[in-house]
Structure formats: structure tokens, C-alpha cells
A and B are shown apart, each in its own frame.
Chain A
Amino acid sequence: MSDEANKGLLSPLRRKLLMGMAAVPAITMLPRASFAQAPATSAVNTTGLAVTDTEVTVGILHSATGTMAISETGSIEAEKLAIEQINAMGGVLGRKIKFIQEDGASDWPTFAEKAKKLLVNDKVAAIMGCWTSASRKAVLPVMEQYNGMLYYPTFYEGLEQSKNVIYTGQEATQQILAGLNWIAKEKGAKTFFFIGSDYIWPRTSNKIARKHVENVLKGKVVGEEYYALGSTQFNSVINKIKLTKPDVIFTDVVGGSNVAFYKQLKAAGIDLAKQPLLTISVTEDEIDGIGGENIAGAYACMKYFQSLDNANNKTFVPAFKKTWGEKTVIGDVTQAAYLGPWLWKLTVEKAGSFDVDKIAAASPGVEFKGAPEGYVRIHENHHLWSKTRVGRAKLDGQFELIYETADLVEPDPFPKGYQ
């Protein structure tokens, strides 16, 4: 028993020494090789992470099976593409990125277990992963206990901040407020009808939206409805919408319910060209299932659309399609997932180290000028400064950019006056 324990304690140290020793001849003997500029492993990795002279290992942790595979597949694809591109450019600190992919299987305890496996057994330098808030909440204590680094891609409800997480998606205020301001001004909207799936993200988002509508826009929320996840029947709530005649329908319905909701809305004769609808839960990925003809005319509030017209995006979209197929679409979260490996690379280079503590400290201020959404910068609170955009859904399943904020919007995970 004690032997076992000793081995466990000694092995990282021994490995570190071996790695350090291995690095010395590598540097002296291959002065002109492509990795010549690579700093010694002992210098950039003082905590026993899986870093060798030529490779660094990261983890990818998403659901490739189960309900959430629908959504998380895009994130996996984006992260792999980013890693491939970084490797083609010479890697990070002269080391190629190798990834270990684990399947969270749409089950939150599995996520925590796999995160622990990646950190404790594989000693990965960072994890790109999680999608739902539930999976992130399950993984968070593991990340904090074993001091890992998580790059989390999804737009989410906020009310969280951790040294061990970089949130590459928008928190709620970044996603919602600018969109509401825009639609209130553009459509003269005064009355809003909220409809969402019944769990934490829609409820928190709608709470923030309601405060904003009532206190800032001086409007009125004429209905707020929640349906259990997986509901497929929306005819009653559609009748209520017809009865209350809101200026704007504001939705955060997710998953299979989304498809049912828009199909039934269309079948009930609600014409989205005349009835403004603002959604914060439909990206190009979801439209694939909903069908462009069922949602054309709806407004979505996101930070990224596949149709964005900028130089970065014009190289990103073809590269993505080349790797993952011509028919693949790229939604907001997929783009945010693509940012993860890049931000990590830039932070590692800024810190000059793979050590998690140094990365956490170096993260604020790191900027990524090659982001498909344009330009992003990490805030002190580990969220991203990014623009809010409104797009209108078209028949072909793409969005047409209608509005974007002039400046980057500051992330505010604990918004005062909105709680």
C-alpha cells in the first residue's frame, strides 16, 4: 500500500527530471531544427503536465453520444480544426498539440469523471469542453480541485467566474441587452412575450430580459411561459400569443422542442415577417433541424453568424467546410469553441509557460485578432469582450446580419440590478 502511494508521489517528479534531462541534449544537438526556439520543458512546465520536448497534450471533453451530441458535435469539430491549424503553424512554444478526446455522453457525472481522468491520469495542459451549464457545473469542482484549465464555449446564464475557466461564449447580458435595445428602437416594441424551456439558462436569461424591458425600456412583459425540456406541443401557448398580440416574441426554447415550436408557429399562421420574434437559442445548427422555411424572418441575437463578412471569417468558413464537409453549418457556439485552442495558445505564449497558474494570471488582456467573429479579448473576469449582433433568418438557413454593436460589449457575469 505504502509502496503504491510512494510511487504515485514520486512519479511526477521523476518524470519531470527525466523530461528536463531529455530536453538538454535535444536543444544542444539540434540547434537548427524547427523546434530550435522551443524553450526547455523544465522551464515551461513546472507542475508535471503532459508536456514533452515535441508535444503537449490537451483534452477535448464533449458529448459525442446521447441527447447533447446534436449540439456538441459542432464544438468538437471546431476544436479539432483549431488544433490542426495551430499545429500546421508550428504548434505552441515549439510543441505540437496532441489531443485526447473523451465522451461526456450527455451525462453530467460522466463529465466530471472524465474531466478528473484527463487531469489526473493524462495530465492534460488544458481542456476544451462542456456545453450545457449542467455539465460545466459538474466539471467545475474538479477543475478547481486539480487545478485544470477549461475553455468553455457556450453562451450561458452568467453568475459564475472561476480562475480555472475561460468562458469563450457570451454571458447573458452580453447576449440579451443589446438585442432588446435594438428591437425596441427598430420596431418600437413595447410589449414582449417570453417563452422558454424550463431550466436554469432560459429562466435566468428571461429574468434579466424582464428587468431590462421593465426598468430600462419601460415596456411590458405580457406573458412568460416555460415548457418542460422535450415538449413537442405548443398550440396552447401559440393561442396565448395570438390573444395577447405582443410586439415581440422573445424565445429561448432549446433542443427538439425548438423544432416543434417553429413548425407549429408557422402552421398556426403566424407570419414571422410581420410578427417580430427575437430568439437567443437558434443558430445555424438549429435551423438545420427546424428548416429554413419555418423560421425565415425571425431575428437571432448572437455574436457570430456564418455569413459574417470579414477577412478572418472568409478563411475560416471554407477551411471548416473543407475539413468537415460542404454541407456543415457553423453556429455561434461552434465559432466560440474554435476560439478555445487559439486563446490557450496565445496565453501560453504570453505567459511563456504551460503552468495553469501562470495561464490563469496571464489570460486577462490576451487578444485574438484572427477570430472569425472579428476580434476578441479576455476580460479580467475570464469572459470575452465581444460584439453583440442581430441577424435575420433566411430561407436557406443562413442569417443576414442586421445590426451589430459599435464597440465590444463588456462581459458582466454578475450584473447589478438584474438579479
Chain B
Amino acid sequence: MFGDYSLGDLGSIFVMQGFAGLILFSVYVLMALGLAIIFGQMGVINMAHGEFMILGAYVTWMTSNLFQTYMPSLFGGYFFLAMILAFVASGALGMLVEWALIRHLYKRPLDTLLATWGLSLMLQQAYRSVFGAREVGVELPQWMLGSLHVTDSIEVPINGVFVMGLTALITIAVAYVMFRSRWGRQVRAVVQNRVMAGAVGINTEKVDRYTFGLGCGIAGIAGSAFTMIGSTGPTSGQLYIVDTFLVVVFGGAASLLGTIASAFSISQTQSTLEFFMSGSMAKVLTLLAVVGILMLRPQGLFALKVRK
């Protein structure tokens, strides 16, 4: 298939394809991080993860409307405020949900699957009633549109670069919070042994609530960022949920590093295959590979070493 093209053409396509893979990688990491905390650290199968993302997207949409109406001169910078608001809104809803629903189900992990699935349906219908069934268009500031012109044939999408930067930032922040801060230590203690953690004086209920809230808040930021590349509608969250679980489970549920490694391998496989065959076929082969590897390594790519 490459016979007709010059070396220069091919070179630039490989560079662009490399970028496409990196962008996909960042998108996967960003959407999986929140779930990696909730599912990986707390063991809650949160089927409503996508809906927490879309809440962030709707918050972004409302912020953009607000800025356009009242502060058009500051429109260029609204996105940063929108992401913070998205984090707060999704995080707050997450903490509410944890208090009302999830905390009663910690001893029954499989029931959280059904409960959160029901929650996702309720949230979808709530979005539909509040914001309407149609998709909304989130208008972006001018500087976030278009691409960086590197050479005549190499162009890098600005929003892709933005997502990459954001992902790196949030990953570092999460890693710091989980592995370097006092609070992160408490979270890990609760995950490893709830009774013991309680006995040494950790307020396990509070830790659970904040952890769940953090995971949902990160989902909100992801949703906010994805208004740049995807759609915002009541059911848009469903577009992400399968890939999100795929990345987290494949990476090994309890490992943040595993999540990153799995996002990297899945995104690179997918984007390379997509280039050589059709999109549907690439997806099929990627999923087959994941299933195959999970059969050989049921614990995922990286698993916590636990003494048995």
C-alpha cells in the first residue's frame, strides 16, 4: 500500500500516526484514572463512571455559556475554570452517592455493579430532563482550535497536545496524593485491611467518601476535557465506559502503573492496527489480544504482590 508514496510523505505520516497513538494513550489514561482509584483502590465497580464524566462536560458547557453571555472578554480562559468546576461538581455528586448508596454495599461488591448501573440510567434520564435529549455543542476558545503547523505535511492537533499535558499533570498529582501524602497512605491502609486501619485510628468512612469523591472528580475533569474531542449528550458517557473498564482491568485492578501501561499498550495496538485495516477490524483484534492476555494473566498486566 506504500508503493505510491514518497519517502517524505511516509515519514510525516509515521510521525502523525505516532502522535495519534500518543493522543489516544492520553485519552485512555485520563478516562481510566478516576476509575482506577474507585475500582482499583476501593473495589467498587462503578458503572456510572461515564455519567460522572458527562456531568463534567455539562458543567463545561454551562460555564462556556455563562462566559459568553456575561464575560465575553474572558472567554479565552474559561476552560480552566470549567475544569475546576467540573471537578468540584462531579466530586460532590460522587461523595453524595457514596454516602447514600455505595457505603451500604462495600461488603457486597457485585451488588455495586447493579446499583451503579441503575444510577447511570437515572443520571442519564436526569440529564435528558434537565438539558434536553439533544446533544449540546460546547464552543471552544479560538486558541484551542486547529493545529500546530510543524511542516507542510505534519500538523499536530492543539487539543490533542492539551489533553496530553493535562493527563500528565493529573497523573503526577494522583501519584503524589496516593503514594506520597499522609492521606494516600490512609487510603492504601484501608484498602489493604479495613478492620486494622480502623483499629489504628483511621476514620475509614471519611477516607472512603473522599476517595470516591476524588475518583469521580477526576472523571469530571476528563469529561470536561473530552468536550474538545467528543460529543456532549445525555448518553455520551456510554461511549467511554467499555474502554475505561478495559484499560483498568487489563492493567491490573489495584495498580496505577498498570493502568498507565495498559492504556499505552492498548492505544498503540489500536492506533497502529487502525492504520493498516478498518476501524472495526482493529477494534476486534485489539479486544481479542486483550482477552488472550487476560486468559494467560487473569490478574492483569501489573498486580500487587500479595503474600498468600
Residues of A within 8 A of B (CB): 64-67, 69-70, 73, 198, 224-228, 230-233, 235-240, 242-243, 255-260, 263-264, 266-269, 285, 287-293
Contacts and interface: CB of A to CB of B under 8 A. Distances in A.
B157 A233 contact: no
A226 B280 CA distance: 6
A233 B16 CA distance: 14
B68 to A, nearest CB: 13
Nearest to B160: A267
A74 B134 CA distance: 9
A227 B280 contact: yes
A289 B232 contact: yes
B147 A226 contact: no
B139 A233 contact: no
Contact of B230 (A69, A235, A237, A260): A260
B128 interface: yes
Contacts of B235: 66-67, 70, 256
Contact of A240 (B19, B231, B275): B275
Interface in B225-272: 226, 228-236, 238-240, 270-271
8 contacts: A224-B278, A226-B279, A227-B280, A232-B231, A259-B230, A267-B158, A289-B134, A289-B136
Nearest to A291: B137
A293 B17 CA distance: 25
Contact of B271 (A64, A69, A235, A266): A235
Contacts, number: 140
B2 to A, nearest CB: 9
Nearest to B231: A259
B138 interface: yes
Contact of A242 (B134, B153, B157): B153
A233 B135 contact: no
A419 to B, nearest CB: 22
A293 B157 contact: no
A232 B243 CA distance: 11
Given A236-B274, A239-B16, A267-B158, A256 B229 contact: no
B188 interface: no
B125 A67 contact: no
Contact of B145 (A226, A236, A267, A287): A267
A232 B145 contact: no
Given A226-B280, A233-B27, A243-B9, A256 B16 contact: no
What are the nearest 5 A-B pairs in CB distance?
A289-B135, A259-B231, A235-B20, A267-B157, A236-B274
Nearest to A258: B231
B17 A239 contact: yes
Contacts of B160: 235, 267
B28 to A, nearest CB: 9
A268 to B, nearest CB: 5
A26 to B, nearest CB: 41
A65 B27 contact: no
Contacts of A263: 159, 228-230
B105 to A, nearest CB: 26
A239 B153 CA distance: 10
Given A232-B240, A288-B135, A267 B159 contact: yes
Given A69-B133, A227-B279, A243-B5, A233 B231 contact: no
Contact of A293 (B139, B147, B234, B275): B139
Contact of A266 (B5, B145, B238, B283): B145
A127 B133 CA distance: 22
A235 B236 CA distance: 19
B146 interface: yes
B134 A70 contact: yes
A236 B271 contact: yes
A283 to B, nearest CB: 12
B135 A256 contact: yes
A383 B24 CA distance: 44
Contacts of A291: 137-139
Nearest to B236: A256
Contacts of B135: 70, 256, 259, 288-289
Contact of B229 (A226, A227, A232, A292): A232
Given A230-B238, A236-B17, A239-B275, A290 B137 contact: yes
Contacts of A260: 229-231
Given A237-B274, A263-B228, A269-B155, A256 B233 contact: yes
A264 B138 CA distance: 14
B133 A70 contact: yes
B275 A73 contact: no
B149 interface: yes
B86 interface: no
Interface string B12-49: 01001101100110010000000000000000000000
Contact of A198 (B23, B274, B280): B280
Contact of A268 (B24, B133, B157, B233): B157
A290 B232 CA distance: 9
Contacts of B149: 269
A233 B240 CA distance: 11
B128 A69 contact: yes
A69 B155 CA distance: 37
Given A69-B128, A73-B132, A289-B232, 13 more contacts: A65-B128, A69-B133, A70-B135, A70-B235, A230-B238, A235-B271, A239-B17, A256-B235, A259-B232, A263-B229, A266-B145, A267-B147, A268-B157
A220 to B, nearest CB: 12
A242 B16 contact: yes
Contacts of B138: 291
Nearest to B240: A232
Contact of A236 (B20, B132, B239): B20
B212 to A, nearest CB: 26
Nearest to A271: B146
Contacts of A258: 231
Contacts of A289: 134-137, 231-233
B13 to A, nearest CB: 5
Given A236-B275, A239-B275, A230 B239 contact: yes
Interface in B105-148: 125, 128, 132-139, 145-147
Contacts of A238: 20
* B137, B139, B155 — most chain A CB neighbours (10 Å): B137
